[in-house]
Amino acid sequence: MKVLQTAVVGILTLVFASSPPAQSKGGSSSVAARIAGANSCEWTREVAPDRVRSPVQMDIHAAYRIFAFQSDGTIGYRVRGEFPYAAFLSYTIYNHGRLYEALLDHEIYPDQGSSNPFVPGELVHAANRSYTVTVLPDGTVPDASMVNPIFMPPPARHSDLVTVVLVQRIYLPEPGEKRYGGVDAPTIEPFLVSDPATPAACPGDDGFGDVADQFGSLPSHLSQSPLPRRGKIEFYRPPVTEVPFADGDGFQDKHDCTGYLMATVYPDRLAVIHLPQVPAFFDNTDISSTTTFVEPEGVRYLSLGSYGATVMGIVENENIGGPDVRTLTDGSATFVAIPVGFTIADIAAVTLKADQLGYNVMPLAQYGPLIPGDEEGAQINPFLIYRNKVAAEGFPGDIKNVACFQGTSFSHAPRVYAASPANMGEYAPTGIECSVADFLYGACGQNFQSSRPQSRGAGRAKDGK
């Protein structure tokens, strides 16, 4: 058990490693400068991962800030920041690794004199873009000074303390911007809930150790989605109990599922994944000073990522998202995940063939221990994660249209719980396993093709220019 705990702490230290603060984009004064002298707490960790590995299945296109602390219910926190030059922003609070509260970018009211660039009709490059989020203890009745409230979970029975984890996520910064979207880190100002005008002391760092303890229970009940049956790769929504600290847009209890789709695959076969239609998404690759925000008819952001026992990252193209998705003229996209254990010759041959077909290429991880260094513990097969965020109301390709399996073993979920045209229409991801020979010289994985390759990004939404 001591080995396992050490491994858990080790991977958290690796993945949640501190990173340099983001630089502010020109055109607006930094938040830190505007509130100089205010009592401000440090973020516990800043994470802009260039390499990822299970069990923390981060997206290479995203950056994360984490504030972990213990609360006795007397202190609140004002988080003052600027909306990033990016595709997505969220604040989430977790209770024992499970999503408790969430605020998405378009739900945040801007400060007086500022505008929210994620609201339709507002300038994406608005010069004044500041906001304040107020983190409050459970049961607090907000007054006028407690804008954009987000609430902490209540303490456990027979306890006066609760461990709170606040996470800021920023996805897909504009080209040329650093991972945090070209703005400074938000400041965190503690105050007395009983007297909101009175500053309070910052918390100690006890909270992060408690977060590490919560990861320690993961291997005892981990269950991946079903492996391919008769060569067919299927995508399922993982229960929240299987994915600690998953992103989301509202309260989740133990009976809920995440907003991701997972496909577990074998580590020695090509995985060919097909999206018959790539959802329209927010394209922020060519924003001008006059561009106004238009919410896409599909989703704000989408990606397909490859995970498992192998450490992979941006160089290996392990996560393909948004404008980087290569599409065909019919609006479809196909991905070929190539096992990292294949020979260099086979990888080169498959890559060349996939390029000729207009397919996206990504690596496929190896089978191995869930926790690095714990060779006797839980093992995982490689798996793929499909994300789409902030689906438009009524969008048929919303991941939440896929049913949530509540049986005892996620790995044995019936096929009726998989993504399919019946629940996601033409936006449902499906896949097939192929041998190298069948992919190169047969028809395996090529019956998806219905038109010639075209330039990348056919699924982009119009950005309102």
Measured in residues, the chain has a length of: 465
102 and 240 both lie in a single domain = no
Same domain, 314 and 403: yes
Closest by alpha carbon to 89, among 293, 251, 290, 262? 293
pLDDT tens-digit series, residues 40-57? 999 988 888 888 887 667
Q: At 370, is the pLDDT very low, low, confident or very high (cuts 50, 70, 90)? A: confident
Confidence of residue 462 (pLDDT cuts 50, 70, 90): very low
Q: Give pLDDT tens digits for 289-315.
A: 999 999 999 999 999 999 999 988 888
Quick one: pLDDT band at residue 63, thresholds 50, 70, 90?
very high
**Does the pLDDT of residue 17 top 80, yes or no?**
no
Average pLDDT over the chain, rounded to whole?
86
- Lowest mean pLDDT: which of 8-17, 154-163, 180-189? 8-17
Are 210 and 224 in a shared domain?
no
The average pLDDT across 145-159 equals: 92
Total domains, the chain = 2
pLDDT, tens digit (0-9, with 9 covering 90-100), for 321-346:
999 999 999 999 999 999 999 999 99
Burial class (CB in 10 A: 0-12, 13-18, 19+), 218: buried
Provide the pLDDT for residue 388.
93
Same domain, 239 and 208: no
Higher pLDDT, 218 or 451: 218
Instruction: Indicate whether 31 and 53 sit together in one domain.
Output: yes
94 and 240 housed in the same domain: no
The answer to whether residue 352 scores a pLDDT higher than 90 is: yes
Q: Which domain holds residue 132?
A: 2-214
Shared domain check, 156 and 238: no
Asked if 59 and 142 sit in the same domain, the reply is yes
- Report whether pLDDT(400) > 50: yes
- CA–CA distance, 244 with 431 (Å, rounded to integer): 26
Residues 52 and 187 in one domain: yes
Confidence at 177, pLDDT banded by 50, 70, 90 = very high
The pair of structure tokens assigned to 296 is 């896409």
Interatomic CA distance for residues 90 and 107, integer angstroms: 9
Which of the given ranges, 144-153, 374-383, 406-415, has the highest pLDDT on average? 144-153
Instruction: Answer with the one of 165, 188, 214 that is the final residue of a domain.
Output: 214
Domain boundary among 183, 214, 245: 214
